[in-house]
A and B are shown apart, each in its own frame.
Chain A
Amino acid sequence: MTGTTLLGRVDAVVIGTSAGGVEALGEILPALPAVCVPIVVVLHLPRDQRSLLPEIFQSRCAAAVCEAEDKQPLEAGKVYFAPPNYHLLIDDGPQLALSADDLVNFSRPSIDVLFESAIDVYGERLAAILLTGANQDGAAGLAAVAGAGGIAIVQDPAEAQVSTMVESALARTSDVLVLRLAAIAQVMQTLDAGGPS
Chain B
Amino acid sequence: MDTTAAEFDIELRLLLDAIYQRYHYDFRGYAHASLRRRLRSAMQHFSCGTLSHLQSRVLHEPEAFPALLNFLTVPVSEMFRDPGYFKSLREQVVPMLRTYPSLKIWVAGCSTGEEVYSFAILLKEEGLLERSLIYATDINPVILHQAEAGVYDVDRMASFTENHRRSGGASSLSDYYAAAYGRALIDPALKKHVVFSDHSLATDNVFAEVQLVSCRNVLIYFDRDLQDRAIGLFREALCRGGFLGLGSRESLRFSGHSGAFVDVAREDRIYQKREAA
Question: Which residue of A85, A89, A119 is within 8 Å of B34 (Cβ)?
Answer: A89
Question: Are A100 and B76 closer than 8 Å at their CB atoms?
Answer: yes
Contacts of B9 in A (CB 8 A): 92
Is there contact, CB below 8 Å, between B36 and A70?
no
How many angstroms from the CA of A97 to the CA of B223 in the assembled complex? 10
A86 to B74, CA, bound (A): 14
Could you tell me the distance between the alpha carbons of A37 and B37 in the complex, rounded to whole angstroms?
25
Q: Which of chain B's residues have a CB closer than 8 A to the CB of A89?
A: 33-34, 37
For the complex, give the distance between the alpha carbons of A102 and B36 in Å. 15
C-alpha spacing A71/B253, complex, angstroms: 12
CB-defined contacts of B31 to chain A, threshold 8 Å: 71, 91, 97
Report the separation of the CA atoms of residues A101 and B221 in the bound assembly, to the nearest whole angstrom: 10
Do A97 and B74 have beta carbons less than 8 Å apart? no
Does residue A79 face the partner (Cβ distance < 8 Å to B)?
Answer: no
Instruction: Report whether B220 and A101 are in contact in the complex, using a CB–CB cutoff of 8 Å.
Output: no
**CA–CA, A102 and B8, complex, Å:** 23
Contact A123 B5 (CB under 8 A): yes
Task: List A residues 60-93 near B (Cβ within 8 Å).
Answer: 69-71, 83, 85-86, 89-92
Please state if A102 and B76 are interface contacts (CB–CB under 8 Å).
yes
Query: In this assembly, does A98 line the interface, its C-beta being within 8 Å of a C-beta of chain B?
Result: yes
Q: Given A83, A85, A91, A100, which contacts B33 in the complex, CB threshold below 8 Å?
A: A91
Interface residue B228 (Cβ < 8 Å from any Cβ of A): no
Number of interchain pairs (Cβ within 8 Å): 55
B221 and A99: CB pair below 8 A? Answer: yes
Residues of A within 8 A of B38 (CB): 101
Digitize B33-46: 1 where CB-to-A-CB distance is under 8 Å, 0 elsewhere.
11011100000000
Contact of B220 among A97, A102, A117, A123 (CB under 8 A): A97
Q: How far is the CA of A181 from the CA of B254 in the complex (A)?
A: 39
Q: How far, in Å, is B87 (CB) from chain A's closest CB?
A: 14
Is residue B209 within 8 Å, beta carbon to beta carbon, of the partner chain? no
> Which residue of A92, A98, A120 is within 8 Å of B249 (Cβ)?
A98
Q: What band does the interface of chain A fall in when counting residues whose beta carbon is under 8 Å from B?
A: 20 to 34
CA distance A113 to B247 in the complex (A): 20
Chain A 21-52 interface mask (CB, 8 Å, partner B; 1/0):
00000000000000000000000000000000
Asked, given contacts A86-B249, A100-B76, A102-B76, whether A120 binds B36 with beta carbons under 8 Å apart, the answer is: yes
Q: Is B217 an interface residue, CB under 8 A from the partner? A: yes
Indicate the member of B5, B34, B38 with the most A CB atoms within 10 Å: B34
B37 touches A102 (CB 8 A): no
Which B12-51 residues have C-beta < 8 A from chain A?
31-34, 36-38
Q: Are B36 and A101 in contact (CB under 8 A)?
A: no
Q: Could you tell me the distance in whole angstroms from the C-beta of A156 to the nearest C-beta in chain B?
A: 31
Any B CB within 8 A of the CB of A11: no
* A116 within 8 A of partner (CB): yes
Q: How far is the CB of A42 from chain B (nearest CB, A)?
A: 14
Contact status A117-B37, CB under 8 Å: yes
CB of B37 within 8 A of CB of A116, answer: yes
Cα A120 to Cα B221 in complex, Å, equals: 17
Inter-chain contact B247/A71, CB cutoff 8 Å? no
A91, B220: Cβ atoms closer than 8 Å:
no
B220 with A99: CB separation less than 8 A:
yes
Q: Tell me if B224 is interfacial: C-beta within 8 Å of chain A.
A: yes
Q: What residues of chain A lie closer than 8 Å to B36, measured between beta carbons?
A: 117, 120
Q: A residues within 8 Å of B by Cβ? A: 69-71, 83, 85-86, 89-92, 97-102, 113, 116-117, 119-121, 123
Q: Which residues of B does A touch, CB under 8 Å?
A: 5, 8-9, 31-34, 36-38, 74, 76, 217, 220-221, 224, 247-250, 254
17 more contacts with CB within 8 A, not counting A85-B248, A97-B31, A99-B37, are A70-B220, A71-B224, A86-B220, A91-B31, A97-B33, A98-B220, A99-B34, A99-B220, A100-B76, A100-B220, A100-B247, A101-B34, A101-B38, A101-B76, A102-B76, A116-B37, A120-B33
